[in-house]
Amino acid sequence: MELYEIRYFVAVCDARSFSRAAKIVGVSQPALSQCIRKMENELKSPLLQRPIHSMKLTEVGEVVYSYGVKMLGLKREMDGSIAEIMHADNVEITIGMSPFYSRHFLPTILQFIRNKIPNVNIRIVEEISQVLEERLLDNELDFCCVPQDPVVPGLSYETICMEELMLATPQDSPLRSHALPASPVPFLETKWIRGQKLVSLKQVQKINKLLGPIFDADELDCEVVYETLDWDTVNIMIGNGLGVGFVPDILYSGQQTASSPLYFRIPDKRFLRHYSIAYKDGKVFTNLERRLIEIFKEQIKVIRQNKWKV
């Protein structure tokens, strides 16, 4: 059995489609099907249950897939380590991050990397979190930084920090009368936002998979008056009196202006979420990739700590 055959088989399993896998590995669909049949003949056992469109693995198929992922991971690790030695100036690592978090984290992180590892070429892909996770599954990224909750099957996550979702309101909001004093940010129970006008991210974005069930469970009926793809726009709209909304704690600022929102912490663990490094299940990292992941984790923690010291 050749390594390329294993790669083709793993691609079929991951894509759950012969046509899509053929595009990923760059061969025709008939050639891909012929390769799988050759593997089955060699092993004297089917790898996929028939009918083939069900894309369910046989017991032997499960074993081949499991070891295949490990073998391909080791091959990538070997290739990456050799490339680091032989072509130090040409190593490229592709990392995903949403435009919002890029704005807050990347200037510091990339400057740190330039100082510590000047020869590495970092390619940044900016997309919303859901798209980044899809691109991980399609092997288009080495890793990405995303809010973890809810997790996506097929991906692994390493927590960087716990991100707190805060309630932001206009400065003249009557909700401030229900706040519980605390330093530096008062607390407010979510029950007080029932019936409020809500500014939020668009439904396609990952945060709504976390907040939606909470709103339903607590019967927090709010009228959505504005949806956007950008957290900063949510923050600005709230500060200008359009409504209330939930924002990540990185947007909190103790330096109030006439147009900035008031912020409240929510005494409810459901409004905490993991901000994490995500990568495809079974990925084996090169030494350089692992070093970059640790830099991202350490620098994001430092940036957040410094934010709250201001």
Q: List pLDDT tens digits, range 241-295.
A: 999 999 999 999 777 777 899 999 999 999 999 999 999 988 888 888 899 999 9
Q: What is the pLDDT of residue 51?
A: 66
Q: Are residues 46 and 122 in the same domain?
A: no
Tell whether 70 and 51 lie within a shared domain: yes
* pLDDT at position 85 over 80: no
DSSP SS3 for 150: coil
- Asked if the structure places residue 153 within a domain, the reply is no
Span 92-110, average pLDDT: 94
Its domain, for residue 19, covers 3-85
Do 93 and 179 reside in the same domain of the chain? no
Average pLDDT over residues 95-105: 95
The answer to whether residues 124 and 51 belong to one domain is no
- pLDDT grade for 38, boundaries at 50, 70 and 90: very high
Q: Give the alpha-carbon dihedral of 102, 107, 110, 111, to 10 degrees.
A: -170
What CATH number did the domain enclosing 243 receive? 3.40.190.290
Number of H helices, E strands in the chain: 9, 9
Over residues 293-310, mean pLDDT: 87
- The answer as to whether 52 is a domain residue is yes
pLDDT reported for residue 87: 52
What is the Cα 178 distance to its own chain's centre? 35
Is residue 216 in some structural domain? Answer: yes
Whether residues 142 and 285 share a domain: the answer is yes
Does any domain span residue 300? yes
Encoded tokens for 190 = 């979510």
Contact present, 199 and 242 (Cβ < 8 Å): yes
Q: Give residue-wise pLDDT tens across range 175-204.
A: 999 999 998 899 999 999 999 999 999 998
Share of the chain above pLDDT 70, in %: 94
Clarify whether residues 117 and 214 are in a common domain.
Answer: no
Residue 52: its pLDDT value, please? 60
Is residue 78, in this structure, part of any structural domain at all? yes
Which of these ranges, 16-20, 150-154, 183-187, has the smallest mean pLDDT?
Answer: 16-20
Q: Is residue 154 part of a domain?
A: no
At residue 53 the predicted structure's pLDDT band, cuts being 50, 70 and 90, is: low
Residue 178 sits in the same domain as residue 266 = yes
36, 125: one domain: no
Position 141 in a domain: yes
Res 95: pLDDT: 97
Residue 76 is part of a domain; what is its CATH number?
1.10.10.10
- Name the average pLDDT for the chain: 89
Nearest to 105, CA basis, from 303, 308, 310, 307: 303
> What pLDDT sits at residue 86?
56
Total domains in the chain come to 3
- Let me know whether 167 and 128 are in one domain: no
pLDDT of 44 over the 60 cut? yes
Residue 298 within any structural domain of the chain: yes
Instruction: Tell me what pLDDT residue 239 has.
Output: 94
* Judgement on whether residues 233 and 209 belong to the same structural domain of the protein: yes
Distance, CA of 131 to CA of 145 (rounded, Å): 12
Last residue of a domain, one of 44, 61, 85: 85
Does 185 lie in the same domain as 174? yes
Mean pLDDT of 42-70: 85
Phi and psi torsions of 25, nearest 5°: -90, -10
pLDDT value at 108 more than 90: yes
